Amino acid sequence: MKRVIPFLLAAAFAACDDEPAKPASVTAPSIAPVVASASAAAVDLSGASTICRVYVTERDVAQTQLDSLPTDTLAQRRVKALEALVKETCN
């Protein structure tokens, strides 16, 4: 039994595959920073709380994603929920 356990551990370790290297040239989309700056310009949030600013930014990002895929029901529900949070939090 003592000889079987190290063998099983060695076999399990050998079976693990390393994740293939990803290309370094892939970058993240720059939609969120543009939306964040646009949302700050569209709504005066200078006196708003931090959580209000976060909800407004998240709502604008979700709205941008919904505009690109208008039939996405999950995105529609997310925008509706964030609208309610902004309405309740930012008053």
Q: Has residue 42 got a pLDDT over 70? A: no
Give the CA dihedral 21, 24, 28, 29, nearest 10 degrees.
-120
Q: 50 pLDDT exceeds 80?
A: yes
**Taking the model in full, what pTM does it have?**
0.48
For position 74, what pLDDT does the model report?
Answer: 92
Whole-number Cα distances in Å, 45 to 3, 30, 32, 35, 83? 67, 22, 18, 14, 16
Long-range contacts at 64-67 (CB < 8 A, ≥ 24 apart): 64/31, 64/35
Q: Model confidence over 51-85: pLDDT tens digits?
A: 888 889 999 999 999 999 989 999 999 999 999 99
Which residue ranges make up each domain of the chain? 29-91
d(CA 90, CA 2): 64
Higher pLDDT, 19 or 3: 3
